[in-house]
């Protein structure tokens, strides 16, 4: 009796779908024997053998089905076989069985090595399987095929582009792939929707701003005057230390902008470039005045319909004012007004979300207060190094600790440490509304913002007020957002008059607003003889980025060097070395200081080396009107005398509070004249320097600045009091 072939095929398919390949193969073999002219039996039998990892047998079966045929007929059968394999690969991809789909598509590649669509699917699968390396783009011949093939599936191409940009370790092949793809992009915005978020991640999370800039340069070939692309490109140039390109690109943004917020964004970028490469402070002042004039117009207009991307850019538009002047009344007034305007716009474009948060109650809360820390910087960053002691000493019997990472850097070792020291960690991206929703769903009681206006997404989250009590601590001055309830300070870092110009309530801890137990210190790599400095010379050091190198303070530093015989000045920072050299050499010439008394040092490879190399200095000269913070802590920990100029704003009093909290008053100056006097005195009086170093070494045993456990008790007490005030309706 002849077999019922329809029934055989049905049973074969049934067993195949169930994953019983042996039974399925048995039925297809019967089909081949009964109807050798029906080629689909061969194609399906070969597929089953392939899925059983019997690739040679699969290829033999497919070839058997094509024997004794004309070339044209073989071509048709290959097409039919490819269709069978394509359908099964797509089915496996739908089931997320990517490894199986990879095996199928690899066989398809061997039969049709120039099938670009299949190769693109293979690239996409490699990304999903985390096996992608950029050399696959060349070994598969994808780039050459894209250049020569005019029938590219644009949707598939865009999808693969997005996959690669969000995964790849960047090498030249990736840039070549993106460049080759441009010829097929007929709707640039669809490409930019992929490119811009990817480059933001590459520049910030992956810390590769040069690669991000190269990618955006390719995007400009599609639209050379796209403002959004140009804005990000300017920022990436600046992050990569390509200051001239950054400033010029930002100026181009300004010239192309016809709306007030766009002009403000462009000026902010120009200002940033001028500040970080400090060779034209007069232009920086002029840009600040221009910015403030435009901000005044914007504040008067009070627009309530700004788009989210525009609002985000406005949050930090006044960022550089404290670097240029110590005028907290004026600086804070502008910051408070722009923050309030931005908050109103956030609460407008995310009104439904904001209204839900307003309706929260404290009913059903757990006994443990939930503390959430929100930051982009809980990683290898100054904030990350300083905040870790608080996380280490937090009392888990009284608090649940949550961490919300903005633009998460999961490969960062310090972020991994934080993840292990919290009740729950949330690895967020750059979607502020999404992170705010997670905070709300986690029912956080007190949300601590560690970034202030340094990160716009952080401001957006705080403006939505996803937690009933919100606090700013550590990362910068206060943001000025009405949604933030408290700004943590201490008796020294803000004067008593500060209440007049802060929107937030200032919550002063009893001793210090920051404390650490110490720092890791490496082996020094700097030697005086290598720098051609005599052993008996007096060495001054300033280690800050370009933002903080105000010309008035730098001039005072030159006066100190000139007045102390046999003294040398070491200048170290993150800005473009040519700009820094030009800036200081010009001031030295104007003040009569020989250029051979200045030494320009590159940044150290790690923080531990930086701290060890501080020991080359006899005296550290602080910056003003924006003091050092982490650098001051490190200087004091290493036992080195420091001269600081105290002002009125938060940024001008960081070193002051840290010195007071180690018991050191020598080197604290309240005027420019005192700054120079202390600098000269400490340079000439070796005995005084030794006494200060001795006091600093002994302060490690008793000073509040070096007692992170005590500090944690104090800030936890503050949290409990804040929460109690909320529950009581204050």
* 680-700 pLDDT, tens digit each: 999 999 999 999 999 999 999
Q: Please check the confidence at residue 425 and state whether its pLDDT lies above 60.
A: yes
* Three state DSSP letters for 178-193: HHHHHHHCCCHHHHHH
Q: Please check the confidence at residue 114 and state whether its pLDDT lies above 60.
A: yes
CATH architecture of 352-508: 3-Layer(aba) Sandwich (3.40)
pLDDT at residue 366 in the model? 65
Backbone angles phi, psi at 597, to 5 degrees: -95, 0
* 601-660 pLDDT, tens digit each: 988 888 999 999 999 999 999 999 999 999 999 999 999 999 999 999 999 999 999 999
Backbone angles phi, psi at 19, to 5 degrees: 90, 10
Which is nearest to 545 in space by CA: 210, 238, 304? 238
Find the mean pLDDT for residues 571-592.
Answer: 85
Q: Please check the confidence at residue 729 and state whether its pLDDT lies above 90.
A: no
Which is nearest to 43 in space by CA: 84, 15, 92, 11? 84
Specify the CATH number of the domain 5-184+192-203. 1.25.40
Q: Which H helix or E strand runs over 656?
A: helix 654-660
- Hey, do 5-184+192-203 and 352-508 end up sharing a CATH topology, with the first three levels equal? no
Residue of 78 and 451 predicted with greater confidence? 451
* 63-96 pLDDT, tens digit each: 888 876 677 777 888 888 889 899 989 999 999 9
* 134-188 pLDDT, tens digit each: 888 888 999 999 988 778 889 999 999 999 998 866 678 889 999 999 999 999 9
pLDDT at residue 361 in the model? 79
Mean pLDDT of the chain: 92
pLDDT at residue 275 in the model? 85
pLDDT at residue 65 in the model? 80
Label residue 301 by pLDDT band (50, 70, 90): very high
Q: Please check the confidence at residue 518 and state whether its pLDDT lies above 80.
A: yes
Question: 600 forms bridges with which residues in the sheet?
Answer: 571
pLDDT at residue 1 in the model? 42
Burial 534-557 (b: 16+ CB within 10 A, else e): eeebbbbbbbbbbbbbbbebbebb
Instruction: Tell me the domain boundaries of the chain.
Output: 5-184+192-203, 257-349, 352-508, 529-706
Question: 404 forms bridges with which residues in the sheet?
Answer: 374, 426
Is the distance from CB of 43 to CB of 62 less than 8 angstroms? yes
Structure tokens at 505: 């309530």
Is the distance from CB of 226 to CB of 220 less than 8 angstroms? yes
Backbone angles phi, psi at 527, to 5 degrees: -130, 145
Find the mean pLDDT for residues 274-292.
Answer: 85
Q: Please check the confidence at residue 306 and state whether its pLDDT lies above 50.
A: yes
* 177-235 pLDDT, tens digit each: 999 999 999 999 999 999 999 998 888 878 899 999 999 999 999 999 999 999 999 99
pLDDT at residue 608 in the model? 93
Rounded Cα distance, 573 and 575, in Å? 6
How many residues make up the chain in this entry?
Answer: 730
Label residue 4 by pLDDT band (50, 70, 90): low
Label residue 2 by pLDDT band (50, 70, 90): very low
Find the mean pLDDT for residues 351-360.
Answer: 94
Terminal alpha carbon distance of the chain: 92
Orientation of helix 551-563 relative to helix 577-591, angle to 10°:
60
Q: Please check the confidence at residue 448 and state whether its pLDDT lies above 90.
A: yes
Cα separations in angstroms, 501 against 328, 490, 594: 7, 16, 44
Rounded Cα distance, 242 and 248, in Å? 10
Label residue 13 by pLDDT band (50, 70, 90): confident
Candidate from 261-275, 451-465, 477-491 with smallest mean pLDDT: 261-275
Q: Please check the confidence at residue 5 and state whether its pLDDT lies above 60.
A: no
pLDDT at residue 205 in the model? 78
Class of domain 529-706: alpha beta
Residue of 133 and 627 predicted with greater confidence? 627
Q: Which residues contact 465 (CB under 8 A, 6 or more apart)?
A: 354, 357, 358, 483
* 20-47 pLDDT, tens digit each: 778 777 777 887 777 887 788 788 887 8
Q: Please check the confidence at residue 586 and state whether its pLDDT lies above 60.
A: yes
Is the distance from CB of 86 to CB of 101 less than 8 angstroms? no
Say how many C-beta atoms besides its own lie within 10 A of residue 476's C-beta: 20
Q: Please check the confidence at residue 546 and state whether its pLDDT lies above 90.
A: no
Find the mean pLDDT for residues 46-53.
Answer: 84
Label residue 547 by pLDDT band (50, 70, 90): confident
Query: Would you call 643 helix, strand, or coil by DSSP?
Result: strand
Find the mean pLDDT for residues 709-713.
Answer: 98
The C-alpha R_g of the chain, in whole angstroms, comes to 32
């Amino acid at each position: 009796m002849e077999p019922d072939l329809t029934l055989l095929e049905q049973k074969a398919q049934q067993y195949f779908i169930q994953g019983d390949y042996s039974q399925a193969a048995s039925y297809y073999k019967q089909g081949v024997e009964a109807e050798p002219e029906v080629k689909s039996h061969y194609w399906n039998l070969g597929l089953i053998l392939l899925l059983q990892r019997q690739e040679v047998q699969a290829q033999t079966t497919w070839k058997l089905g094509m024997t004794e045929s004309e070339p044209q007929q073989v071509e048709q059968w290959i097409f039919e076989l490819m269709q069978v394999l394509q359908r099964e690969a797509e089915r496996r991809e739908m089931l997320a069985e990517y490894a199986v789909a990879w095996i199928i598509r690899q066989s398809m590649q061997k039969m049709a090595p120039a099938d670009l669509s299949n190769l693109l699917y293979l690239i996409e699968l490699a990304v999903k399987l985390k096996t992608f390396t950029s050399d696959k783009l060349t070994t598969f011949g994808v780039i050459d095929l894209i250049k020569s093939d005019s029938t590219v599936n644009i949707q598939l191409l865009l999808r693969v582009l997005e996959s690669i940009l969000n995964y790849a370790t960047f090498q030249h092949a990736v840039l070549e792939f993106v460049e080759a793809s441009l010829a097929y992009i007929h709707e640039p915005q669809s490409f930019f929707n992929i490119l811009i978020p990817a480059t933001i991640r590459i520049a910030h999370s992956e810390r590769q701003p040069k690669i991000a800039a190269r990618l955006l340069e390719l995007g400009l070939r599609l639209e050379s005057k796209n403002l959004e692309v140009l804005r990000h490109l300017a920022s990436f140039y600046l992050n990569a230390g390509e200051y001239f390109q950054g400033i010029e690109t930002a100026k181009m943004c300004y010239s192309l902008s016809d709306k007030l917020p766009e002009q403000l964004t462009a000026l902010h970028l120009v200002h940033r470039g001028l500040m970080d490469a400090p060779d034209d402070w007069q232009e920086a002042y002029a840009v600040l005045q221009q910015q403030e004039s435009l901000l005044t117009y914007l504040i008067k207009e009070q627009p309530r319909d700004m788009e989210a991307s525009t609002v985000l850019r406005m949050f930090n538009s006044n960022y550089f004012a404290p670097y240029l002047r110590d005028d907290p009344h004026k600086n804070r007034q502008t910051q408070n007004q722009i923050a309030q305007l931005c908050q109103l716009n956030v609460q407008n474009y995310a009104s439904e979300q904001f209204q839900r948060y307003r309706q929260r109650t404290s009913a059903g809360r757990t006994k443990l207060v939930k503390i959430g820390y929100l930051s982009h910087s809980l990683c290898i960053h100054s904030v990350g190094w300083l905040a870790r002691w608080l996380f280490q000493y937090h009392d888990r019997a009284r608090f649940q600790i949550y961490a919300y990472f903005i633009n998460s850097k999961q490969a960062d070792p310090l972020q991994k440490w934080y993840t292990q020291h919290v009740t729950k960690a949330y690895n967020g991206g750059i979607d502020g509304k999404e992170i705010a929703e997670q905070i709300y769903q986690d029912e956080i009681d007190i949300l601590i913002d560690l970034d202030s206006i340094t990160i716009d997404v952080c401001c957006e989250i705080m403006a939505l007020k996803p937690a009933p009590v919100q606090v700013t601590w550590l990362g910068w001055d206060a943001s000025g957002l009405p949604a933030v309830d408290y700004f943590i300070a201490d008796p020294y870092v803000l004067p008593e008059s500060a209440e007049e110009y802060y929107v937030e309530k200032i919550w002063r801890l009893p001793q210090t607003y920051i404390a650490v137990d110490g720092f890791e210190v490496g082996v020094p790599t700097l030697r005086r003889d290598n720098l051609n400095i005599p052993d008996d010379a007096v060495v001054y050091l300033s280690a800050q980025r370009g933002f903080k190198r105000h010309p008035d303070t730098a001039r005072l530093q030159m006066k100190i060097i000139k007045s102390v015989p046999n003294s040398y000045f070491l200048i170290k920072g993150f800005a473009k070395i040519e700009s820094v050299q030009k800036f200081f050499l010009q001031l030295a010439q104007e003040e009569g200081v020989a250029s051979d008394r200045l030494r320009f040092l590159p940044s150290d490879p790690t923080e531990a080396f930086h701290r060890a190399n501080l020991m080359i200095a006899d005296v550290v000269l602080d910056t003003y009107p924006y003091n050092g913070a982490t650098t001051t802590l490190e200087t004091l920990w290493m036992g080195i005398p420091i001269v600081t100029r105290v002002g009125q704003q938060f940024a001008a009093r960081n070193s002051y509070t840290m010195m007071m909290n180690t018991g050191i008053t020598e080197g604290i100056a309240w005027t420019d004249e005192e700054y120079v006097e202390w600098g000269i005195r400490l340079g000439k009086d070796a005995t005084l320097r030794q006494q200060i170093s001795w006091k600093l070494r002994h302060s490690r045993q008793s000073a509040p600045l070096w007692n992170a456990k005590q500090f944690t008790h104090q800030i936890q007490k503050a949290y409990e009091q804040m929460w109690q005030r909320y529950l009581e309706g204050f």
